[in-house]
Chains A and B, each alone.
Chain A
Amino acid sequence: MISIQKASKSYGGGVKAVDGISLEVRAGEIFGFLGPNGAGKTTTIKMITGILHPDEGTILVDGKDIVKEPIEAKMRFGFVPDDPNLFPRLKGIEYLNWIGDLYGVEQGVRRERIAVLSERFGLAKALPDRIQSYSHGMRQKLVLLGALVHEPPVWILDEPMTGLDPRSAFELKEMMRQHAGKGHTVFFSTHVLDVAEKVCDRVAIIDKGRILFCGTIAEMREHFAAAGSSLESMFLELTSDSADEAK
């Protein structure tokens, strides 16, 4: 689970990229984090993963404070960034094995997981190659595979579907369901509403650094019953309201 309490972050002392948000992502659920470009999605994810420290507020990953107990917290999540820039001169297998060492995955377990997962993602034939020869989608799959090798209770995925071929996207969705099914947590950002609608147990919508809505898709429909239309129009309505407010 992930618990965010009144977290804020501003860059260079100026506008707040994230403005006092609070979220509870529960165990056993797939949580979608929606918002237009520049809404604060990536900043939030960077704060959860420890890449940035929040100016205010606290963030707990599986009960561990990312600022106060960073190592313990980092052991508990696997993270896939939206633009997976990885050490291009390393070979796929070297990267995965490094991950195994970093997270202390026992040798036998690591071998089995790498073998199974690389087959499942169609990366088995790419493992001896250097990452620089990988396509964007393959890199994304490799990072994902890395995040799965240590089987963390929390997955944090930034725009995970971008760059994946349909088969891999399907596999990923399946795996997200399985992961949540085991009582674990999946937190992912997206701006593809269809994905959110099909996969998520709950969603939050962020715009201009604030949470506009948090709840199930059904609740969202209820909330905007008057509109009576697609998720897309609800989303547009939400974010354009906020734009009006800003004016």
Chain B
Amino acid sequence: MKKLFHLAWVMLRAYGLGMGGDTRRADLRAPKPGSAAAAGTSPARPRKRFPIAILFPLLFAPIAVSLAAFANILYDALSTFGLQAAIIGMATGAGAVVVFFFGVFYVLSIFYFSSDIEKLLPLPLRPYEILGAKFLVTTVYEYIGALLIVAPLYVTYGLRSGAGIVFYLYATVVYLLLPVIPLAMASLIVMVVMRFTRFARNRDVFNIIVSLLILVLALGFNFGVQKLVQVQDPSFVLKLFGEDGGKIAQVTSSLLPGTGFAARALATAGSLESLGYLLLFIAICAAAFALFLFVGNFLYFPGVLDAGTSSSRSRRLSKDEFARGTVSAPAVVTYVKKELRILVRTPIFLLNNVLFNFIFPFFLLIPFLAGGTEDKDLAGLLELLESDVFSQGTTYAAQALAVVFGIMVFASATNGIAASALSRDGSSAWFMKTIPMSYTTQIACKVATGVLLSLCATLITIVMVAVLISPPLWFIALLLLAAAIGAVLPNVVGIVFDLQWPKLHWDNEQKAVKQNLNVIYQMFLSWAIVALAVVPIFVWKIPTALGILIVLGVPVLVSLAAWALVRAKGAAWILALDM
């Protein structure tokens, strides 16, 4: 047991706490929180770390506050029926579901793609010690996400109901054990799938399919939450939360057995009955962990050794294939092609850097779809956009442009391609230094790759805007210009960060893109620049022509300045890198 904890500690140190935040990408909007902590840099150029203690609360405060506010309103609504305890059921259930979804990602990355298993197997460790340590590490990562969901809801309930110390004590125990059951289920599912796909020919394809599936689930989840938040009809609320702990608690406790007992223990905290429920919950957690260890012993080790291996076909290229494969092209074109190939062929990059460009615009559409006409604000906005914006020649066109441009940059900055351009090369980065192509040209190729994919995001946004509000042609033309600017800005800004602090020393592709602070810097700085350009339009009602000039002009100036900086310093930054 001592070895198990020691091993878990070593793993935590090795992976960094950053893994914790990685998969928060699943909700598509939140900038990956934990990734900050783990973002290291090349040892040759240590950099100051951004004060995480400040960054985290800043990022999460809004989510926690809005959840608490939601719980507060819900408490009012439910207490009229005497059903307020359903909040506990919902919080526990939602927490467990979130843990489960993230769990699938975590288990894939910690159990299967962390590539430490080959180093662990020769050590004198028992299988259960490796499995247990990995499980423990995953649990620790899950605490971050679980805390975010569970804490605001529990605390709000506790404060509103005037609960005593026993409630908070129970709540802490439940919180600490909450990840165990869903995580055991997630790892069992993943282990079965990974064991089974031992026979799959192409593991990369499988990884992509699993990732896509999770993405769809996350989208659906988000859609559901949006829908849920908008419903204010009491009878619906009663149906959802009423009778026997509520529908949500029912569903989750039937899917993830045990969580129901945790909720009941909390709802009846203080009574003798509650202690029984709590003990039952603890017992089920222990059983789930034992089951995980037992089954894992059979499923994990045979499956994991295949992960990361790739097959070779061992055949000659046909004459035709050879001819097609050896067509000459300008070096910059081949350079960009190489970047794109690596992005598309690496599952982690495909999911994080490529697919988002195509999915993100749709994701932004969800509020419109989920809200339908029930949402007065959105309906009003749509109406306003359709009727007034373009006809009156007032400030509206600039405002509409500002909104769409904001969405474009939001989407385009999220791909983080330029902000991880050098990092993704990892140990292959030495190549940059020995080929006869100037550093500035190489940097330009990397930026161009990001711009190309960002353009997908911004152009899809235009198509969506065109379908939703059918604006006049001149406005679409303006949007095309905005699309180009919105695609360039985050990438030029991003490359500056990655030139400064590339993360070249990684053993796992996730570290290059998910646990890379440069991506977060890029997103926040791009958004800040756009806010700088967009906010005045709304605050001071700037006339259309000037407004358009500001919305598009500020990002253009910043992009030019960033590129000037790259031209002046980029080569020296690359040269100073240790590789």
Chain A interface (Cβ within 8 Å of chain B)? 11-12, 49-51, 53, 70-72, 74-75, 79, 81, 85-91, 93-94, 96-98, 100-107, 110-111, 114-115, 124-130, 132-134
Q: Would you mind naming 23 contact pairs between A and B with Cβ atoms under 8 Å apart? A: A49-B434, A51-B434, A51-B579, A70-B438, A71-B438, A74-B435, A81-B430, A86-B431, A87-B342, A87-B428, A88-B428, A89-B346, A97-B325, A98-B335, A102-B334, A110-B326, A111-B323, A125-B314, A125-B315, A128-B321, A133-B310, A133-B312, A134-B312
Centre residue among A12, A51, A100, A132 by max chain B CB count within 10 A: A51
Task: Knowing A124-B316, A125-B315, say if A98 contacts B327 (CB, 8 Å).
Answer: no
Partner of A130, one of B310, B329, B431, B438: B310
Q: Is the Cβ of B314 less than 8 Å from the Cβ of A115?
A: no
B 301-332 to A, binary, CB cutoff 8 A, 1 in contact else 0? 00000000011111111000111011111110
Nearest to A134 among chain B residues (CB) is B312
The answer to the question of B391 belonging to the interface, with a C-beta cut-off of 8 Å to chain A, is: no
Q: Is the Cβ of A90 less than 8 Å from the Cβ of B338?
A: yes
Closest-CB distance, B473 to chain A (whole angstroms): 40
List B contacts of A130 (CB < 8 A): 310, 312, 345
Q: Is the Cβ of A107 less than 8 Å from the Cβ of B327?
A: yes
In the A-B complex, the 4 residue pairs with the closest CB atoms: A133-B312, A74-B436, A85-B427, A89-B345
List A contacts of B311 (CB < 8 A): 133
Q: Is the Cβ of A125 less than 8 Å from the Cβ of B316?
A: yes
B 547-579 to A, binary, CB cutoff 8 A, 1 in contact else 0? 000000000000000000000000000010001
List A contacts of B434 (CB < 8 A): 49-51, 74, 79
The answer to the question of B341 belonging to the interface, with a C-beta cut-off of 8 Å to chain A, is: yes
Closest-CB distance, B201 to chain A (whole angstroms): 13
CA–CA, A104 to B431, complex, Å? 17
Closest-CB distance, B504 to chain A (whole angstroms): 11
The answer to the question of B433 belonging to the interface, with a C-beta cut-off of 8 Å to chain A, is: yes
Q: Is the Cβ of B436 less than 8 Å from the Cβ of A71?
A: yes
The answer to the question of B437 belonging to the interface, with a C-beta cut-off of 8 Å to chain A, is: yes
Q: Is the Cβ of A94 less than 8 Å from the Cβ of B328?
A: no
Q: Is the Cβ of A85 less than 8 Å from the Cβ of B330?
A: no
Task: Taking A93-B317, A101-B328, A101-B330 as given, write out 7 further A-B residue pairs in contact, using a Cβ cutoff of 8 Å, ordered by the A residue number.
Answer: A49-B433, A53-B575, A94-B325, A107-B327, A110-B328, A133-B311, A133-B312
CA–CA, A72 to B341, complex, Å? 28
List B contacts of A124 (CB < 8 A): 316-317
Closest-CB distance, B76 to chain A (whole angstroms): 55
Closest-CB distance, B206 to chain A (whole angstroms): 15
List A contacts of B437 (CB < 8 A): 71, 102
Among B418-439, those with CB < 8 Å from A are 425-428, 430-431, 433-438
List A contacts of B326 (CB < 8 A): 93, 96-97, 100, 107, 110-111, 114
List A contacts of B345 (CB < 8 A): 89, 130
Closest-CB distance, A212 to chain B (whole angstroms): 27
Q: Is the Cβ of B322 less than 8 Å from the Cβ of A85?
A: no
CA–CA, A102 to B333, complex, Å? 10
Q: Is the Cβ of A128 less than 8 Å from the Cβ of B328?
A: no
Q: Is the Cβ of B328 less than 8 Å from the Cβ of A100?
A: yes
List B contacts of A114 (CB < 8 A): 326
Task: Knowing A93-B326, A101-B329, say if A128 contacts B313 (CB, 8 Å).
Answer: yes
CA–CA, A75 to B437, complex, Å? 9
List A contacts of B428 (CB < 8 A): 85-88
List B contacts of A103 (CB < 8 A): 436
CA–CA, A103 to B334, complex, Å? 12
Partner of B334, one of A11, A51, A97, A111: A97
List B contacts of A106 (CB < 8 A): 328
Nearest to B343 among chain A residues (CB) is A89
Centre residue among A53, A89, A130 by max chain B CB count within 10 A: A89
List A contacts of B438 (CB < 8 A): 70-71
List A contacts of B333 (CB < 8 A): 101
CA–CA, A100 to B334, complex, Å? 10
CA–CA, A90 to B326, complex, Å? 14
Among B22-46, those with CB < 8 Å from A are 44
Task: Knowing A102-B334, A128-B321, say if A89 contacts B341 (CB, 8 Å).
Answer: yes
Nearest to A112 among chain B residues (CB) is B326
Q: Is the Cβ of A90 less than 8 Å from the Cβ of B342?
A: yes
Nearest to B439 among chain A residues (CB) is A70
List B contacts of A81 (CB < 8 A): 430
Q: Is the Cβ of A50 less than 8 Å from the Cβ of B322?
A: no
List A contacts of B431 (CB < 8 A): 86-87
Q: Is the Cβ of A129 less than 8 Å from the Cβ of B313?
A: yes
List B contacts of A93 (CB < 8 A): 317, 322, 325-326
List B contacts of A126 (CB < 8 A): 312, 314
B 280-314 to A, binary, CB cutoff 8 A, 1 in contact else 0? 00000000000000000000000000000011111
Closest-CB distance, B130 to chain A (whole angstroms): 25
Closest-CB distance, B107 to chain A (whole angstroms): 23
Closest-CB distance, A96 to chain B (whole angstroms): 8
Q: Is the Cβ of A50 less than 8 Å from the Cβ of B433?
A: yes
Task: Knowing A101-B328, A102-B435, say if A94 contacts B338 (CB, 8 Å).
Answer: yes
Q: Is the Cβ of A111 less than 8 Å from the Cβ of B322?
A: yes
Closest-CB distance, A234 to chain B (whole angstroms): 33
Closest-CB distance, A51 to chain B (whole angstroms): 4
CA–CA, A79 to B329, complex, Å? 22
Centre residue among B44, B341, B434, B438 by max chain A CB count within 10 A: B434
